[in-house]
Amino acid sequence: MLSLLGFGIIATFLSFQVGLWDNYCHDDYSHFNECYFILESYHKKEADYHKAIGSHM
């Protein structure tokens, strides 16, 4: 149960971070490549997270 709570906190933190990056990207296109890389790595983490959750259930 505790590990699921930890996962929830991490997921919330990651989605909050991506929200910030998303705004940063839309405001300034010169940062597009940076943002794209960060979002790519986020989506990979998110996929790993869902795999981990799935294996615990």
Domain that holds residue 52: 2-56
Q: What per-residue confidence (pLDDT) applies to 36?
A: 72
Residue-wise pLDDT tens digits, 16-25: 666 665 665 5
d(CA 57, CA 53): 6
pLDDT, tens only, 11-54? 676 666 666 656 655 655 566 677 677 778 877 888 887 787 77
Does the pLDDT value for residue 56 go beyond 80?
Answer: no
Q: How confident is the model at residue 6 (pLDDT cuts 50, 70, 90)?
A: low
Q: What is the pTM of this model?
A: 0.35
Total number of domains in the chain: 1
- The Cα–Cα gap between 46 and 4 comes to 14
